[in-house]
A and B are shown apart, each in its own frame.
Chain A
Amino acid sequence: MIETYIDETTEAAATVASRLRIDRREFLQFCAATAATLGLPTGAEAAIAKAVEKAQRPSVIWLHFQECTGCSESLLRAEHPTLEKLILDVISLDYHETLMAAAGHQAEAARKSAMKANKGKYILVVEGAIPVAQDGIFCKIGGHKAIDMLKECAADAAAVIAMGSCASWGGMPSTDPNPTGSSGVADVLGKPVVTIPGCPPNPYNFLATAVHFLTFGKLPEIDQLGRPKFAYGRIIHEHCERRAHFDAGRFALEFGDEGHRKGYCLYKLGCKGPETYANCSTIGFGDVGESNWPVACGHPCIGCSEKGVGFTKPIHMTAQLKGMSPPASYPGVVEQQGKTSFASAAALAAIAGAAAGGAAMLAKNLGKQDDVPAPKKGE
């Protein structure tokens, strides 16, 4: 059974590899990494490989509102050479203002035709918050207000994904006093959508959600805020590489102090890891391993993905601890490196002396009895 699954995976991989002109191994690594990000069991990478091989390529319409395009950037600037190729291979990106070649009326026409051709089947991705104050006049594209455009595109979409904190819950534009009334997609549409918050979110969280849709025909399991559980099911603090320092009571107290240089916990510098749900501490950013995410770089987490934390609480304000209480006692910060007591050294010497003396005396006494006759051969 294992062999068939390996064979099928290998076959699928070879097809995709030749189509995209990438290394077969790289493709399989991508499938495995995606399956791992989704927290899927062994064998899922085979299903993913097969789904990508079929290249059904769901149509995607990607809207930009009050945002900085950082979410798109994070997808495109991934250092991994195959990532952007794969994004464009697994989905058919029919409308994306930053990436599409078309401009002006052509662009609008592309959106309308894609919506018509894939009615009820396309995926709508929204990047950026939607202003609702004063009838939403603060953001217009091609003469349409953001709020109207969103409602129009969402009406016939198979699924709506809010990409980034702005689209998820308002994000940075919604910071108090929020003069434009920036709101998240779910608030505007009045129904729950899949949200991938973060500023920017990890590209793998978007990609894994898209691949899940492609492989299993449905979106992954989400929590009450629409966040995929595979990525936002746990608080950052739970899997933080500096967690041991937190538990041991070792904190950096200011930037550049001894504790900071030694990589101690950043909680007292205002790290929001203990109240932010995201997988940053397990998958890192930028495809260079776990060493590349804010906390690993020595800066406290600002809770960018969490409503009511990111862009709301001051960056260096101490986080509220969610779902945990400090241990009853802390081990010492300075560990004793070993001690020697005079009593034990003396006792050891006495025991050794007594044993040596006893053995020597016995051997000497035994030596006196050595005139025992030698045993006969063959006894």
Chain B
Amino acid sequence: MANHTHAPAPLGGSLFTPFTLLLGTLSAIAGVILLYRLFYGLGAVTNLNDGYPWGIWIAYDVVVGSAFACGGYAMALLVYIFNKGQYHPLVRPALLASLFGYTLAGASVIFDLGRWWNFWHIFWPGYAQVNSVMFEVAVCISAYIVVMWIEFAPAFLEKWGLKDVRQKLNKLLFFFIALGVLLPSMHQSSLGSLLVIFGEQIHPLWQSGMLLPLIYLMTAILLGFAVVIFEATLSSTGFRRQLETPVLAPLAKLMYGLLAAYVVVRVLDLLLRGALGSAFAATWQAFWFWVEMACFVVPLATLATDRARRSAGRLFAGAVLLMLGGFLLRINGFLVGYMTGEGWHYFPSLAELMVTVGLIAFEILAYIYIVRNYPVLPAAQPATR
């Protein structure tokens, strides 16, 4: 399947650059805040209140974070299920980004639990509430994190020269790859289902009821593709390698089809539920709804042709817009459109923000460390410029 010229290899190079030092500092700040939170409680660090029991640590770190980490899922779906071998070089880097996205999303949940030392209860028979969507999400995400580490293990095994283990794992890998496609399909849709039980507490623009699972699943795959494009472009420019546009352009075509289908589903749902009227009210919700819709509709226009999709600039801008759209859909559903009663409001505290920023910084830092030291990115010739 893997073309020889595309075989992954470590990038090498120095780990200490001004950029990595900045990332390290941001990660350290987040670490200190989290340590403080573990000892002094959520109230000491966050702006959470009785009306808003969750904030950006759930809405961004978990819900958006895991959706941004769907690159590995989307690529595995494409390469292994739809057998599109030409995208294989994109799988490993995508998987790596997903690995960190998910692992940190899972870890973030612990920091958001009031009594975090009880976190293991959800996995313990007798404590677990097996009828809850939250339970499904927790178990599924945890299982997926383990599966992804196994899926990614060949990269470590190659580096450490453990050929025997590698060969044995190869025989079993198909099973984990299948799980790696099944599990995200389950929990990414369940993240939408979480909003179903909130009923009228969710603004009509985002309370799609039984369509929520579909909407969240479609955008998760969409985000997966967008993130692959985003991350491939960034690592090409960041590490001064040749752009992967020839592989990305056909991928963008698939993404475009899915995007069109999503916009149709979303708009039809709003029309059929009669919710579109509230988009014309003078509210913050309506404002953010239009920004969100613009992020999905603009790429629909700018990426319409093959020629447009071969332009690295347009492709990158489109991918960023889609990521922003998916980000807003989730933030809008979980925070902006989440109305728990008169007088209650929520805006993240500086400490909360710094944790999220630090988490992202840590993800990028770890990504850089791994691709420099382990075979992840396809061994390609440097950009000719």
Q: Which residues of A contact B (CB under 8 A)?
A: 335-341, 343-345, 347-348, 351, 359-360, 362-370, 372, 374-375, 379
Cα-based distance from A365 to B307 in the complex (angstroms): 18
CB distance from B68 to the nearest CB of A (A): 13
CB distance from A372 to the nearest CB of B (A): 6
Please judge, given known A-B contacts A337-B51, A359-B317, whether A366 and B233 are in contact too, CB under 8 Å. yes
Please judge, given known A-B contacts A341-B349, A372-B245, whether A359 and B320 are in contact too, CB under 8 Å. yes
CB distance from B108 to the nearest CB of A (A): 18
The stretch of B12-20, B261-269, B338-346, B366-374 in contact with A is B338-346
Cα-based distance from A366 to B319 in the complex (angstroms): 13
* Cβ contact of A366, chosen from B307, B313, B344, B353, cutoff 8 A: B313
Residues of B within 8 A of A374 (CB): 307, 310
Residues of A within 8 A of B234 (CB): 362
Cα-based distance from A207 to B354 in the complex (angstroms): 63
> Quick check: is B81 within 8 A (CB to CB) of the other chain?
no
Cα-based distance from A364 to B313 in the complex (angstroms): 6
CB atoms of A370 and B312 under 8 A apart: yes
Residues of B within 8 A of A340 (CB): 47, 345, 347
CB atoms of A343 and B350 under 8 A apart: yes
CB distance from B174 to the nearest CB of A (A): 27
Cα-based distance from A335 to B47 in the complex (angstroms): 12
* Max chain A C-beta neighbours (<10 A), residue from B307, B343, B348: B348
Cα-based distance from A363 to B51 in the complex (angstroms): 40
CB distance from A100 to the nearest CB of B (A): 53
* Cβ contact of B243, chosen from A339, A344, A369, cutoff 8 A: A369
CB atoms of A337 and B313 under 8 A apart: no
Q: Number of B residues contacting the other chain (C-beta, 8 Å)?
A: 34
Residues of A within 8 A of B277 (CB): none
For window 341-385 of B, CB contacts with A under 8 Å fall at 343-350, 352-354, 357
* Cβ contact of B353, chosen from A347, A359, A364, cutoff 8 A: A347
Q: Which secondary structure dominates where chain B touches chain A?
A: helix
Residues of B within 8 A of A372 (CB): 243, 245, 310, 312
CB atoms of A344 and B49 under 8 A apart: no
> Quick check: is B257 within 8 A (CB to CB) of the other chain?
no
CB atoms of B237 and A362 under 8 A apart: yes
> Quick check: is B316 within 8 A (CB to CB) of the other chain?
yes
Cα-based distance from A148 to B177 in the complex (angstroms): 86
Residues of B within 8 A of A351 (CB): 353, 357
CB atoms of A341 and B249 under 8 A apart: no
Give 4 closest A-B pairs by Cβ, nearest first. A367-B313, A366-B313, A338-B345, A340-B347
Please judge, given known A-B contacts A340-B345, A341-B350, A375-B246, whether A335 and B50 are in contact too, CB under 8 Å. yes
Cα-based distance from A372 to B236 in the complex (angstroms): 15
CB atoms of B47 and A366 under 8 A apart: no
Cα-based distance from A374 to B307 in the complex (angstroms): 8
> Quick check: is B52 within 8 A (CB to CB) of the other chain?
yes
Q: Which residue of A lies closest to B354 (CB)?
A: A347
CB distance from B151 to the nearest CB of A (A): 27
Residues of B within 8 A of A344 (CB): 47, 347-350, 352-353
CB atoms of A337 and B343 under 8 A apart: yes
CB distance from B283 to the nearest CB of A (A): 17
Please judge, given known A-B contacts A345-B347, A351-B353, A375-B246, whether A366 and B316 are in contact too, CB under 8 Å. yes
Cα-based distance from A337 to B86 in the complex (angstroms): 53
Residues of B within 8 A of A379 (CB): 86, 246
The 27 listed contacts between A and B (C-beta, < 8 Å) are: A335-B49, A337-B49, A337-B51, A337-B344, A337-B345, A338-B49, A338-B346, A340-B47, A340-B345, A340-B347, A341-B349, A343-B350, A344-B47, A344-B348, A344-B349, A347-B353, A348-B353, A351-B353, A362-B316, A363-B320, A367-B314, A369-B243, A369-B312, A370-B313, A372-B310, A374-B310, A375-B246
